[in-house]
């Protein structure tokens, strides 16, 4: 087992990996930008080293700086988390060249699955159903339009490299096709340095279902069942759950799982990874892509299987053999994850930046919180605005939803606007409760959503707490400070601790 691991990431996933390292008795090393110097995960780590600058390019994507720190601290391995360098095959290869273990799949597996076009070919060879489509490499717009003539509208144009919705366009008619291809190629070139695009059939009523896989370096690949991630905004997931509501029968579940394992075995996959599918209302499924990393939504799989994916990533990278078989893994109960963002859903989801003077996460039976903030944290404009993930587990879906509703109501994030009211509105919406959660869910049921105009008692209480915290340690707060003329501060207007009993 490794003695020291460097975590090349930030935020809640860094904290999650630190905890896994501690359980494995591994020294956890983190790097941090100038903007993250006071972050709680920096204080939690065993060792922390600065990356000068604030932008992602200058800091968490700066391979030279990260390797210099790895050499300085004597790290034997690097865990990339997700995002940033997590699916960068060149970085993984550079780690190997420096005799540093990359905690993730091999560079070869990442390269094969990193290109959507190549991944599609490999999936077809592995017997995995694929969406009707055409590879646009080397084709002019006119040639591409001829090649896709057999596909009915709407169509989806998507970048072969990257993800996150960049380089992606939905085309509803032939008149839009040329402009959409140009826009997708332009955006893909800017985001990924590669304008290679695919054109596929676009399904309007479809579900996004993914299968978690786990493979070791001894040839064993297992599946950890499925998650549904259909509730998305601009191709970014908001709510994830397992089991998937659209998977109504065990036959469909097992066929998808077998397809995911087959694909992973084909590329000799060793680590945690996710094979993504789209599923229609009739139970037909098609390969979408493979994510060669830990997913943001991995906690829901951990709660329904009892397996620690972050720890197993590390143990697999250290050469351990999976000690369990497929028959040993059970899908138990139901888990849901909600992503908490610093953004304003009432105003086109504009990011909200500033200081969080008070943060109170939820707790209680069946509630888990993965976060990277604390009271006093700064929300900067330089990185993704996700603050935390709230995950709940119940014996069934109804219980998991009830726990999530209570958990979000118990969550306080003062100083910035969050999407908590929006998430609560989704949880209470009848179609969501019935499991009718296709990828068009938000457009169909949440378009034009606005929060209640009335200020709740909880909001007033939050404002009062904020006022008290602002005056903490100053002896007095608010208007009382302006009118008091006594030599000693009035304890009823003080935010500091005091006693009203005599100590003997």
108: which 2 tokens?
Answer: 């070869």
Q: How many CB atoms lie within 10 A of CB 260?
A: 30
| Confidence bin at 372 (pLDDT 50/70/90) | very high
How far the first Cα of the chain sits from its last, in Å, is 55
- Is 293 catalytic? The answer is yes
Cβ-based neighbours of 205, under 8 Å, separated by 6 or more? 280, 281, 438, 440
Q: Among candidates 329, 120, 323, which has minimal Cα distance to 213? A: 329
pLDDT in tens, 209-224: 999 999 999 999 999 9
Evaluate if residue 463 carries a pLDDT over 80.
no
Evaluate if residue 503 carries a pLDDT over 60.
no
| Confidence bin at 166 (pLDDT 50/70/90) | confident
| Confidence bin at 465 (pLDDT 50/70/90) | confident
- Structure confidence at residue 193 (pLDDT): 87
Residues of the chain with CATH 3.30.1490.20: 132-201
- Structure confidence at residue 455 (pLDDT): 61
Strand pairing partners for 210?
Answer: 227, 276
Q: How many CB atoms lie within 10 A of CB 483?
A: 9
Evaluate if residue 357 carries a pLDDT over 60.
yes
- Structure confidence at residue 67 (pLDDT): 98
Q: Can you name the CATH fold of 132-201?
A: Dna Ligase; domain 1 (3.30.1490)
182: which 2 tokens?
Answer: 């140009």
Q: Which one from 169, 293, 315, 368 is the annotated catalytic residue?
A: 293
The whole-chain average pLDDT of the chain stands at: 91
Q: What is the mean pLDDT of residues 181-203?
A: 91
- Structure confidence at residue 476 (pLDDT): 45
Rounded-to-integer distance, Cα 408 and Cα 400, Å: 12
Exposed (0-12), middle (13-18) or buried (19+): which is 452, by Cβ within 10 Å?
exposed
Q: Can you name the CATH fold of 4-103?
A: Rossmann fold (3.40.50)
Domain formed by 207-445, architecture: 2-Layer Sandwich (3.30)
355: which 2 tokens?
Answer: 């200081």
Evaluate if residue 489 carries a pLDDT over 90.
no
Rounded-to-integer distance, Cα 216 and Cα 325, Å: 12
Exposed (0-12), middle (13-18) or buried (19+): which is 258, by Cβ within 10 Å?
middle
Q: Among candidates 258, 257, 270, 289, which has minimal Cα distance to 119? A: 289
Cβ-based neighbours of 457, under 8 Å, separated by 6 or more? none
Q: Among candidates 200, 143, 207, which has minimal Cα distance to 168? A: 200
Evaluate if residue 134 carries a pLDDT over 60.
yes
Residues of the chain with CATH 3.40.50.20: 4-103
Cβ-based neighbours of 318, under 8 Å, separated by 6 or more? 1, 2, 77, 101
Evaluate if residue 480 carries a pLDDT over 60.
no
Residues of the chain with CATH 3.30.470.20: 207-445
- Structure confidence at residue 161 (pLDDT): 85
């Amino acid at each position: 087992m490794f003695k020291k691991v460097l975590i090349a990431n930030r935020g809640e996933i860094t904290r999650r990996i630190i905890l896994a390292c501690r359980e494995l008795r591994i020294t956890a090393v983190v790097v941090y930008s100038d903007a993250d110097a006071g972050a709680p995960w920096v204080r939690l780590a065993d060792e922390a080293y600065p990356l000068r600058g604030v932008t992602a390019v200058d800091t968490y994507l700066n391979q030279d700086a990260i390797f210099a720190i790895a050499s300085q601290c004597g790290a034997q391995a690097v865990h990339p988390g997700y995002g940033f360098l997590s699916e960068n095959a060149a970085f993984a290869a550079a780690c190997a060249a420096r005799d540093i273990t990359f905690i993730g799949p091999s560079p070869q597996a990442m390269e094969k699955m990193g290109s959507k076009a190549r991944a599609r070919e490999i999936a077809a060879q592995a017997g995995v159903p694929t969406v009707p489509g055409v590879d646009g490499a080397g084709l002019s717009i006119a040639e591409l339009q001829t090649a896709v003539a057999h596909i009915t509208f709407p169509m989806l144009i998507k970048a072969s490299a990257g993800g996150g919705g960049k380089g992606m366009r939905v085309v509803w008619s032939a008149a839009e096709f040329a402009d959409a291809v140009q826009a997708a190629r332009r955006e893909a070139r800017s985001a990924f340095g590669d304008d290679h695009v695919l054109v596929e059939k676009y399904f309007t009523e479809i579900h996004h279902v993914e299968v978690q896989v786990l493979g070791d370096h001894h040839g064993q690949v297992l599946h950890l069942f499925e998650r549904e991630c259909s509730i998305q905004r601009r191709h970014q997931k908001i709510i994830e759950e397992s089991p998937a509501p659209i998977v109504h029968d065990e036959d469909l579940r097992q066929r998808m799982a077998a397809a995911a394992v087959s694909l992973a075995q084909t590329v000799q996959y060793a680590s945690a990874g996710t094979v993504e599918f789209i599923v229609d209302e009739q139970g037909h499924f098609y390969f979408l892509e493979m994510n060669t990393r830990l997913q943001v939504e991995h906690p829901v799989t951990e709660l329904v299987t009892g397996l620690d994916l972050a720890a197993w990533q590390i143990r697999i990278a250290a050469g351990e053999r999976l000690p369990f078989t497929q028959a040993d893994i059970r899908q138990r109960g139901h888990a849901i994850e909600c992503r908490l963002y610093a953004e304003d859903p009432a105003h086109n989801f504009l990011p909200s930046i500033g200081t969080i003077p008070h943060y109170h996460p939820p707790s209680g039976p069946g509630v888990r919180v993965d976060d990277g903030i604390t009271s006093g944290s700064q929300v900067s404009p330089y990185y993704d605005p996700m603050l935390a993930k709230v995950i709940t587990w119940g014996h069934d879906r109804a219980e998991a939803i009830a726990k999530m509703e209570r958990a979000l109501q118990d969550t306080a994030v003062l100083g910035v606007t969050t999407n908590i009211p929006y998430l609560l509105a989704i949880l209470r919406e009848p179609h969501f409760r019935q499991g009718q959660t296709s990828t068009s869910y938000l457009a169909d049921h949440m378009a034009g959503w606005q929060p209640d105009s009335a200020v709740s008692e909880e909001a007033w209480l939050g404002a009062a707490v904020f006022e008290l915290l602002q005056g903490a340690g100053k002896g007095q707060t608010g208007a009382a400070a302006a009118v008091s003329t006594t030599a000693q501060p009035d304890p009823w207007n003080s935010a500091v601790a005091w006693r009203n009993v005599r100590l003997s």
